[in-house]
Structure 1
Amino acid sequence: MATINFGGVEEQVITREEFPLSKALETLKNDTIAIIGYGVQGPGQSLNLKDNGFNVIVGQRKGGKSWDKAVADGWVPGETLFEIEEACEKATIIQYLLSDAGQIASWPTVKKHLTPGKTLYFSHGFGVTYHEQTGIVPPKDIDVILVAPKGSGTSLRRLFLAGEGLNSSYAIYQDATGKAKEKVVSLGIGVGSGYLFETNFEKEVFSDLTGERGILMGALAGLFEAQYNVLRKNGHSPSEAFNETVEELTQSLMPLVAENGMDWMYANTSVTAQRGALDWKGKFRDATTPVFEKLYDEVSSGREAARVIKEGSKPDYREKLEEELKEIRESELWLTGAEVRKLRPKA
């Protein structure tokens, strides 16, 4: 492990220097890894593991779009691609990467193949943390671990192919064999993590749900709409409102923050922008902190999980979701965005 000082707080992280790929391969040389689910994380993690030299198979319901995608990605039915139950039977390590709703539905099938000494792997702490709602309670005689890449499976794969990595958290919920730590780190390195930092299942899901509903998606989308609407209300054109709200942020400023930090971005903008941003930053922080505190309370109490499970299990959920997404897609804000994207210069 490497000890890193994060703003005055020391943390231990694991990189490929301390735990090289060769060690990961040696650790799991006798294991068969089954990727159960080929949706958000399944493709990226399975392909990265395969390309890194691990023994990987995929389990997916036959006949669906995800099965066809797996075939298109090179997984061979009857050789490396199987129905979920057969893949679970063959595996020593089951990477349970179905959606949260999918995990609940498939748990009885998967659980019966969790024989003593096997390993159950998650990339999200939802199912285990909220076990009273999900019914997911792993047997006591298996290892239960987690590697959670901090981004989409698409980003994980793209960065892997570029020779880079996506940072991941890791956790051990149950160490029945005494080898869970070596397994989880090996898998974290194998799926293409940039570095690994330790957490637990509860903290992972609390931070993840807060982030998704907050700055990563919910808050960001809400702020986009609020600023765009105010600009339009005051007579600014759709193009001007969109560029000042979304385009400049995503195409210019956020890359600077990602590369060098917020202070560097401030230092490299005009005095007018610097002064205004610094003066208004606190107002937005103070206005939104109560919302984030309420959000975290809903997540940590389990109420948010209960609501999601209830809504996600309704038979018409997909139809209602499409209606909601259509409303966003066909709003003036995002119709403008579609046209702006077309006008970006091509390389």
Structure 2
Amino acid sequence: MALLNFGGVEENVVTRAEFPLEKALEVLKNDTVAILGYGVQGPGQALNLRDNGFNVIVGQRKESASWTKAIADGWVPGKDLFDIEEACKRATYIQFLLSDGGQIDGWATVKKHLTAGKTLGFSHGFGITFNDQTGIVPAADVDVVLVAPKGSGTSLRRLFQQGKGLNSSYAIYQDATGKAYDKVIAYGVGVGSGYLFETDFRREVYSDLTGERGVLMGAIAGIFEAQYAVLRENGHTPSEAFNETVEELTQSLMPLVAENGMDWMYANTSVTAQRGALDWRHKFREATRPVFEDLYQSVKEGKEAAIAIDAARRPDYRESLAKELAEIRESELWKTGKTVRGLRPENA
């Protein structure tokens, strides 16, 4: 572990140089890692672990779409693919990757097989942080840890296959064996993390829920819709409005930010763009900060957790979700986006 300086603040960071794959394999050589759930994060983590040489099995509800997907990915029923209860029996390290609602429903099964000395892993602090709502309270004689890749399971897998890595946070909630640190870092290296930075369960879920509802998904979608509407109302064509709102951001400017930062992106645009962006950023910051403050408070008070849990338990949730997503997909903005994507050289 190294102390690195981020903007004047020191943080604990673990790189693959100081904790290489060989060391990770040695730490978990006697463990059977069970990935519970093969939905969002499960495939990426399970496949990366398998490719890296770890002893990994998958636990998934039989005959589900995810069970079928696991078989298509090469997992073999009765060999390294089991129902959730059987996977829990066989595992010494249980990585609990069911959805937040699924974790509530599946906790009784997992808890039954969490015997002394086992490790319970998460990739989200939700179940533990909001345990007054989830009921997830592990016994004191097991290690409870977290490795949270900072992106989708699809991105985790793609970057791994490209020889790269997706950064992950790590946390230790409970160290019953005295070996929780080595195990959680070994797991993080095993799933292909670029580097691992320290957090705790509460900070992870607070930042994650804020980010998803904010810049990463909710805010950016709302901003897209607002700018596109203003351009269209002022006589701009769908193609022009989409290119100026979405396409240029995702295909041109964000890669520059990812490469060397926001200042470097500004430095590689025209003076007209630089001056306007630098001036207007203050107005957008001041306009949106109160919204982010409200959002963070809602997360902190558990309101967002309650909304998510209630939604997951609604029998018609998937049906209503499909309608909401269809509304987005069928809007002029995203119909235009589909056409524009099809015109990219690689898709033409």
The TM-score, its normalising length taken from structure 2, stands at 0.99
Q: What whole-Å deviation, never above 9, does each CA across 1:74-128 have from its counterpart, x for those lacking one?
A: 0000000000000000000000001101111111111100011110000000001
Q: What SS does the aligned partner of 1:11 have?
A: strand
Unpaired segments of 5 or more residues in structure 2? none
Q: Which residue matches 1:306?
A: 306
Q: Which residue matches 1:257?
A: 257
Q: What SS does the aligned partner of 1:108 have?
A: helix
Kindly report which structure 2 residues correspond to 1:268-347, keeping only aligned pairs within 5 A, or say none: 268-346=268-346
Q: CA deviation at 1:28?
A: 0.7
Q: Identify the range of structure 1 (304-313 vs 335-344) with the bigger mean alpha-carbon deviation.
A: 304-313
Q: Which runs of 4+ in 1 moved over 4 A?
A: none
Q: CA deviation at 1:243?
A: 0.2
What is the aligned-residue RMSD (CA, Å)?
Answer: 0.7
Q: What whole-Å deviation, never above 9, does each CA across 1:207-250 have from its counterpart, x for those lacking one?
A: 00000000000000000000000000001000000000000000
Q: Which residue matches 2:245?
A: 245
- In 2, Cα distance between the equivalents of 1:234 and 1:145? 53
Kindly report which structure 2 residues correspond to 1:1-347, keeping only aligned pairs within 5 A, or say none: 1-346=1-346
- In 1, Cα distance between the equivalents of 2:202 and 2:14? 21
Report the AA paired with residue 189 of structure 2.
I
- In 2, Cα distance between the equivalents of 1:346 and 1:84? 41
Q: CA deviation at 1:2?
A: 2.4
Report the AA paired with residue 91 of structure 2.
A
- In 2, Cα distance between the equivalents of 1:259 and 1:272? 22
Report the AA paired with residue 3 of structure 1.
L
Q: What SS does the aligned partner of 2:5 have?
A: strand
Q: What SS does the aligned partner of 2:141 have?
A: coil
Q: Identify the range of structure 1 (300-309 vs 229-238) with the bigger mean alpha-carbon deviation.
A: 300-309
Unpaired segments of 5 or more residues in structure 1? none
The TM-score, its normalising length taken from structure 1, stands at 0.99
Q: What SS does the aligned partner of 1:38 have?
A: coil
Q: CA deviation at 1:12?
A: 2.1
Report the AA paired with residue 137 of structure 1.
V
Report the AA paired with residue 128 of structure 1.
I
Report the AA paired with residue 147 of structure 1.
V
- In 1, Cα distance between the equivalents of 2:12 and 2:256? 27
- In 1, Cα distance between the equivalents of 2:125 and 2:31? 23
Q: CA deviation at 1:3?
A: 2.5
Report the AA paired with residue 14 of structure 1.
V
Percent of aligned pairs sharing the same letter: 76
